[in-house]
Amino acid sequence: MEPLAVAGIRLGSAGAGIKYPDRRDLVVIEAAAGTRAAATFTRNAFCAAPVTVARAHLAAASPRYLLVNTGNANAGTGQQGLADAEASCRALAEQTGCRPAEVLPFSTGVIGEPLPLARLVAGLPAALATLRPEGWRDAAQGIMTTDTRPKWATRRAALGGREVTVTGIAKGAGMIRPDMATLLAFIATDAAVDGALLRRVLIAAVADSFNAITVDGDTSTNDACVLLATGQAGVAVPGAGAGHQQFTAMIREVCIELAQAIIRDGEGATKFITVAVEGGRDTAECRQVAYTIAHSPLIKTAFFASDPNWGRILAAVGRAGLADLRLERVAIHLDEVCIVRGGGRDPAYTEQRGQQVMRRPEIAIRVELGRGGAAARIWTTDLSFDYVRINAEYRT
Amino acid sequence: MEPLAVAGIRLGSAGAGIKYPDRRDLVVIEAAAGTRAAATFTRNAFCAAPVTVARAHLAAASPRYLLVNTGNANAGTGQQGLADAEASCRALAEQTGCRPAEVLPFSTGVIGEPLPLARLVAGLPAALATLRPEGWRDAAQGIMTTDTRPKWATRRAALGGREVTVTGIAKGAGMIRPDMATLLAFIATDAAVDGALLRRVLIAAVADSFNAITVDGDTSTNDACVLLATGQAGVAVPGAGAGHQQFTAMIREVCIELAQAIIRDGEGATKFITVAVEGGRDTAECRQVAYTIAHSPLIKTAFFASDPNWGRILAAVGRAGLADLRLERVAIHLDEVCIVRGGGRDPAYTEQRGQQVMRRPEIAIRVELGRGGAAARIWTTDLSFDYVRINAEYRT
């Protein structure tokens, strides 16, 4: 389904030659006056210059423009990087008549090289000239670096008697150029949402989507996710009740669809793996077990090989660091097949049944811890020859 | 240097056909009466049956025999696995005239398949018939599963006017058969060492050696390290002073040499990488940063490609979870080359200098955190095509 336009949002893009010639590498997203925004950023202590600047600008003003470049992450660039990010915002502000603090900058690409500011600024008029409400698809293409396909998600539903639209785009953790896992996601709605509520909705949606995926555990320096609410649909999202639930669900669905698209396009991925951990004492320990499984190179290579090597999953659960874990209460399923029960291989399990499941392109591991009522679910990829090839290729 | 015999220790081995015919897969290590023993075991909550049994036997008696089989880990095998491990100890006890609790069992190999007890027991007479003080090399060969070479380390020095020997063997985390990372190490000395002291010396040595290596972070269900002290050199190790220091250093050196040999033989390893983290507030946070680097698939693939992709190292330090990390105080070196200083690329750094270092087969990453006086050092491998191949090959 093509991305639906969101009233109050226009998108433009251009090729500014930031790293390569003839490549769309500059995207401008314009939000109508009165738009509210919420954002989440990387928790990497070494965040990139644009992340620092975007955080500061967001605290000072409501954004009118998101300015995104690919080809250069402007990370590990020190004071010069901060100055460059600020300068890019000033340049866009001058050309559009807004204040610099009303521009949020985002960069993705190689770490540690100076941002080619002059080329970026020179590309702005062309990007602004293409601003249009239908620009979502081109923008999705424009923020790609090494993704193999553009990613968007879109929903439209009646809310409070009006039609409300949510559309988002994202670029992925496909580090085909061996620099970093940069996740960028931009989502907009034409519903009117109070700033505090918008932030709450975004944080909840991100927790279940972008913060529930991993390719290799390498948190990027540039991750950012922005949610814009233009209010132009003429309907306000209430703080509670059915309308609130419905809106929250739309945002959540769009975020999950984008997050899953990132995993499906993960570097070298041949399998889409859901890791669900249930019966934990709290969500934190369920996530701990899920990530231990999702980051295990042994499990990831076994999935690549379609090898039902359940001992590796058992061993990962065992080393996840849970105190007082009772082995005899743990059960592990691959899709519908129980592989481990009571601390050992399920009596009904056969290698053939395990093999059957492992050949599927989408597989769910379900771990029952048997010690509480909490659960968590994340998505990940396998570890293939292509992962190594992609990330071992030199940066030229 | 060939492994030196240790007075009071005899080693024998045999091919029992546990998994393959015509392969030495059964090792017996005999310790003279009066030998003291200390051991450390896996912290994986799902420890294998022999680990449970060895722990219990060690608490009940001083071991006279270590019984090691390869080809089957006796892990994830439930009550039957425990019974089989006990039965193997009983069989050896009957044939040697010791008590079952004086036998410690160790297994390594495939998880989740029943131990072929009958074949193991049938192989015992042949293993016992070959017991000799010079059996170290054969034993090192006999405990290999997918290691490409046997591993031993040996030291001899004067201590308290007598000659004291320390010899150890180990098998590695080379999971060339895609089952598990099983580390087994058996070290013996002819010095006389009090039980509590022996344990203290072992734990300290293991912390700096076997607990400071990682190939892929997948802690095995069967890891075990045993230190035997026969006392037959006629010299007692004091609890403090120069003789104590000297003995401690010998044990530590043997453990480090074995641990490094495991990393050098790590699956698919093409590089030997030292990760040293200095200037931390405590050892724990230094280890946290070191392991975040050592487990990063992006860093490991960059090493495989000899790519000085310093942004990946910077990003790993940043995501290691240290509170209040001051980016501008962090410095990162590759061997003698400073790559990062003050939060960005070192002004004197050139890609060419980085490349020169990265082409070396042994490389040290040194991270200076600039926030305290603590340090930690670990060793690891790169992530190569062969790692994926080895671990994706089906278990047949």
Per-residue pLDDT tens for A256-276?
Answer: 888 888 888 887 889 999 999
Mean pLDDT over all residues of chain A?
A: 89
Is the Cβ–Cβ distance between A184 and A40 less than 8 Å?
Answer: no
For A315, the token pair is 């061993």
Residues of A assigned a catalytic role: 182
C-alpha A240/C-alpha A160 separation (Å) is 13
> Who contacts A231 (Cβ-Cβ below 8 Å, separation ≥6)?
A8, A34, A35, A36, A190, A191, A192, A193
Residues 86-145 of B with CB under 8 A from A: 110-112
- Residue numbers in A near B325 (CB within 8 A): 45
pLDDT in tens, A315-331: 889 888 898 998 889 99
pTM listed for this prediction: 0.80
**Interface A-B: count of C-beta contacts within 8 A:** 215
Instruction: Please state the ipTM of this predicted complex.
Output: 0.74
What is the C-alpha to C-alpha distance for residues B41 and B51, in angstroms, rounded to an integer?
A: 7
- Residue among A296, A305, A384 whose CB faces B218 most closely: A296
A347 touches chain B (CB under 8 A): no
3-state secondary structure of A45: coil
What span, in angstroms and rounded, lies between the C-alpha atoms of A168 and A154? 6
The Cα angle at residue B222 between residues B225 and B121, in degrees rounded to 5: 95
Give the C-alpha distances (Å, rounded to integers) separating A120 from A13, A40, A129, B234, B328. Answer: 12, 25, 15, 78, 27
pLDDT of residue B109: 84
Q: Which domains are assigned to chain B?
A: 9-264 (3.60.70.12), 272-392 (3.10.20.340)
Mean pLDDT, rounded, for A25-46? 89
What residues of chain A lie within 8 A of the CB of B76, using their CB? 310-311, 314, 340, 343-345
Query: Would you call B12 helix, strand, or coil by DSSP?
Result: strand
**B346 touching A (Cβ < 8 Å):** no
Examine the pLDDT at A176 and tell me if it is beyond 50.
no
Beta strands in A267-330 (DSSP E): 272-280
Contact state of B343 with A302 under an 8 Å Cβ cutoff: no
Which of A46, A217, A314 is facing B327, going by the closest CB pair? A46
Query: Strand A26-31 and strand A65-72: pairing?
Result: antiparallel
| A220 contact residues in B (CB cutoff 8 A) | 315
pLDDT on residue B182: 54
- On whether any CB of chain A is under 8 Å from the CB of B389, the answer is yes
Is B71:B34 a contact under the CB 8 Å cutoff?
A: no
Please report, as a single letter, which amino acid is at residue A171.
Answer: K
Nearest CA distance, B35 vs chain A (angstrom): 32
> Which residues of chain A lie closer than 8 angstroms to B295, CB-CB?
217, 295
Residues of chain B numbered 38-57 and touching chain A (CB < 8 Å): 43-47
Phi and psi at residue B305, to the nearest 5°: -85, 0
CA distance B299 to B316: 8
* Residue A162, token pair as written in the block: 């009006």
- Asked if A301 and B387 come within 8 Å (Cβ–Cβ), the reply is yes
Is the distance from CB of B190 to CB of B6 less than 8 angstroms? yes
* pLDDT > 90 in chain B, percent: 58
pLDDT along chain B (396 residues), means of 10: 92 94 93 92 83 94 95 89 97 98 92 92 98 96 86 90 90 48 78 92 86 72 83 92 92 88 84 95 94 89 90 87 89 94 87 92 95 93 86 62
> What pLDDT shows up at residue A218?
66
Of the candidates B111, B297, B301, the beta carbon closest to that of A311 is on B111
Cα–Cα distance between B309 and B327 in angstroms, integer? 18
Q: Is A23 helix (H, G, I), strand (E, B) or coil?
A: coil
Judged by CB atoms closer than 8 Å, whether chains meet at B112 and A384 is answered as no
Distance CA B318, CA B320 (A): 6
**pLDDT number for residue A220:** 65
Q: Which of B42, B169, B174, B56 is nearest to B109 (CA)?
A: B174
C-alpha angle with apex A309: A307 to A313, nearest 5 degrees?
Answer: 130
| Residue A161 contacts residue A200 (beta carbons within 8 Å) | no
Per the CB < 8 Å rule, is B180 touching A315? yes
Please state the φ and ψ torsions of residue A309, each to the nearest 5 degrees: -85, 75
| Interatomic CA distance for residues A338 and A336, integer angstroms | 7
**At residue A394, does pLDDT exceed 60?**
no
Q: Say which residues have a Cβ less than 8 Å from residue A156's Cβ, sequence separation at least 6.
A: A4, A163, A164, A165, A166
Query: Which residues of chain B make contact with A44, given a CB cutoff of 8 A?
Result: 315, 318-319
Model confidence pLDDT, tens digit, residues A62-105: 999 999 999 999 988 888 999 999 999 999 999 999 999 999 99
**Residue A309's closest CA among A351, A280, A270?**
A351
Query: What is residue A182's predicted lDDT score, i.e. its pLDDT?
Result: 54
* Chain B residues closer than 8 Å to A389 by CB: 385
Distance of CA B25 to the CA centre of its chain: 19
For residue A22, give Cα distances in angstroms to A16, A19, A175, B273: 8, 10, 21, 40
Q: What is the pLDDT of residue B395?
A: 53
B221 touches A: beta carbon within 8 Å? yes
> What is the reported pLDDT for A390?
78
Chain A contact for B372 (CB, 8 A cutoff): no
The residue among A82, A301, A382 with the most chain B CBs within 10 A of its CB, best to mutate, is A301
Nearest chain A residue to B77 by CA: give it: A344
Token pair listed for A49: 């210059």
